[in-house]
Amino acid sequence: MDVKQLQERRTKMYTDLYTNVIPERFPVHDGLSWNYLIEYAGEDLMLTQYTYTTEKIIKILEKGREIQRGDNFTPAGGHNPISLMFQECAQNVMSSSGMIQHPEREYMFEDEYDEFIKNPFDFFLEKISPRLNPAYSRGEVLRSFAFARYLLSFYDLNSKFAEANNYIKDKYGLFSPPPGSGAHQYVPFDFLADHCRGFSKIPLDIRRQPEKVLEALEALVPMCMWAGQNKVQSPLGSNLIPTHMGAYLRTSDFEKFYWPTFLKVVHMTAKRGQAMQIFLENDWTRFIDYLEELPMGTRLYMEYGDPKKFKDRLGKKMILAGFYPLMLLKTGTKQQCIDKAKELIDILAPGGNYYFCFDKSALRLGDVNPENYVAVLEYVLENSKYENAGEQVTTMKKEDTIRKYTCPEFKSKYVISFDEFKKEFPPVDERIEPYMREGYEKYTDMLRLQLVHSL
């Protein structure tokens, strides 16, 4: 089979998986981060991030093909330390090992809730962003220079990654969703904790000023929906929610503060035709009742938990993945690693709605034994076929599982439509207006994506 046919076959597998059909076999995902691949290729993690070329990225990716076996392509890339330098970024900081980490800090203060609630996006740009990025706090001119340098360096590096990623994806016939069919999807509570108050301060807020927190969460919904827009609607794409705080909250706090706006965002996104891929950090077994409320076809990627409970309760409605402890690949024997894969496949694969992946990705070279890693993926690939391929997973209809929440309008004095813009700068001839509009909307959306990336 040539690589083009292989890519088409893999795409068919994912199309079936994501459209309620049992595929010829369940897809298999690799679990090696870009940082891991850098070190596996024998490169210095810190220096590599400052000296990227297209050729170097391809060389690292080619080396990784020695041990990678998955069907999907995980694009190379991560934080750009040159871009972060121009921002003087305080939220993503490089350690002495070369890892870029997210330190626990407070960027919004406890007495600022009222101002935040009026318009979270405007408040973020005016107050939080300069605290996250001190280079933006030195006046309009220097802020514009810093943002321009950040933007230029970001797109310069992204073009190198895009060229290398496309080369490897097509060379090895790997599956990748259509460009523009995926987005990072913020959800209110995690956004408030991650980017505003910090993990240590938000628990204090829900005790001391719970009504302000609830108002802030509702006020964030329009911004989260605006930020998560997709240019391309495809069953192969998805919006990613990396949950952080949910599993660490008391059940009563989860019910009151976390879940209501989370549920709205997921259903409103499903209503406009986009699936969700949700990484359930830590153990969400106690929240299975709530997860049942999500739209059919939601992709749940678990870190920990009881796989049998998830399969029994959610296996017909949701697509499940995860549970395999990456740490076992470092500490276990080859047979123990294979036995764990068999155990999870026996529980999760029957009936479809499953793809294989680990509970997390390997971040550093010492996180996994490569021999165990290869042995597990090869075993899984050999034991991933279905006898009843082509059958429907369930007779349930997705549209019947989507709640009809009304998406609130997003407003910001910094987000200006073309119709507003042309009042100040009208076209000199009506014939050029469509081209002006096209250009304005294209580059305004590129700016939106970049602002979302930098939040």
Question: Are residue 234 and residue 119 in the same domain, yes or no?
Answer: yes
- Residue 451's pLDDT band, with cuts at 50, 70 and 90, is confident
350 and 292 both lie in a single domain:
yes
Share of the chain above pLDDT 90, in %: 92
Tell whether 90 is covered by a domain: no
**pLDDT by residue (tens digit) across 131-143?**
999 999 999 999 9
Identify whether 258 is part of a domain: yes
> Is 285 found in the same domain as 332?
yes
Give the three-class secondary structure for 187.
Answer: coil
pLDDT at 104: 85
pLDDT at residue 270, as a whole number: 95
Q: In this structure, is residue 43 part of a structural domain?
A: no
CA 77 to each of CA 237, 340, 415: distance values in angstroms, whole numbers, following the listed order: 19, 30, 29
Q: Are residues 326 and 424 in the same domain?
A: no
Q: What is the pLDDT of residue 354?
A: 98
Per-residue pLDDT, averaged over 219-242, amounts to 94
φ, ψ of residue 317 to 5 degrees: the values are -100, -35
Domain containing residue 251: CATH number: 3.20.20.210
Residue whose token pair is 């001119």:
141
Q: How far apart are CA 436 and CA 347, in angstroms?
A: 56
- In a domain, residue 118? The reply is yes
Classify residue 69: in a domain, yes or no. no
Could you tell me if 404 and 455 lie in one domain? no
In terms of domains, do 366 and 262 share one?
A: yes
CA separation for the pair 65, 42 (Å, rounded) = 14
Calculate the average pLDDT of the chain. 95
Q: What is the residue range of 440's domain?
A: 417-455
Judgement on whether residues 293 and 434 belong to the same structural domain of the protein: no
Q: How many residues does the chain have?
A: 455
CB-based contacts of 210, cutoff 8 Å, min separation 6: 256, 257
* 373/311 same-domain check: yes
Residues 391, 429, single domain; the answer is: no
Helix (H) or strand (E) holding 279: strand 276-283
- The structure's pTM equals 0.94
| Spatial distance between the Cα atoms of 209 and 440, rounded to a whole number of angstroms | 42
Instruction: Give the pLDDT confidence score for residue 452 in this predicted structure.
Output: 79
**283 DSSP 8-state letter:** E
The residue type at 203: P
109 and 185 part of one domain: yes
- For the segment 412-436, what is each residue's pLDDT rounded down to a tens digit? 999 999 999 999 999 999 999 999 9
- pLDDT score recorded for residue 231: 84
At residue 218 the predicted structure's pLDDT band, cuts being 50, 70 and 90, is: very high
Tens digits of residue pLDDT in 385-419: 999 999 999 999 999 999 999 989 999 999 999 99
Give per-residue burial for 300-312: e unless 16+ CB within 10 Å, then b. Answer: bbbbbbbbeebbe
For residue 102, what pLDDT is reported? 84
Question: In this structure, is residue 29 part of a structural domain?
Answer: no
User: What percent of the chain lies above the pLDDT cut of 70?
Assistant: 100
What is residue 236's predicted lDDT score, i.e. its pLDDT? 95
Does 147 have pLDDT greater than 90? yes
On the question of pLDDT at 122 being above 80, the answer is yes
Average pLDDT over residues 5-31: 97
Confidence band, pLDDT 50/70/90 cuts, at residue 78? confident
What confidence score (pLDDT) does residue 356 get? 98
Tokens linked to 71: 């069907």
The H-assigned helical ranges of 256-333 are 259-271, 288-291, 307-314, 328-331
Does 264 share its domain with 373? yes
pLDDT at 172: 97
pLDDT tens per residue across span 162-186: 999 999 999 999 999 999 999 999 9
Task: Report the alpha-carbon distance of residue 81 to residue 70 in Å, rounded.
Answer: 29
334 belongs to a structural domain: yes
Count how many domains the chain has: 2
Shared domain check, 190 and 326: yes
Asked if residue 45 belongs to a domain, the reply is: no
User: Across the strands, what pairs with 25?
Assistant: 385
**In angstroms, how far is the first alpha carbon of the chain from the final one?**
44
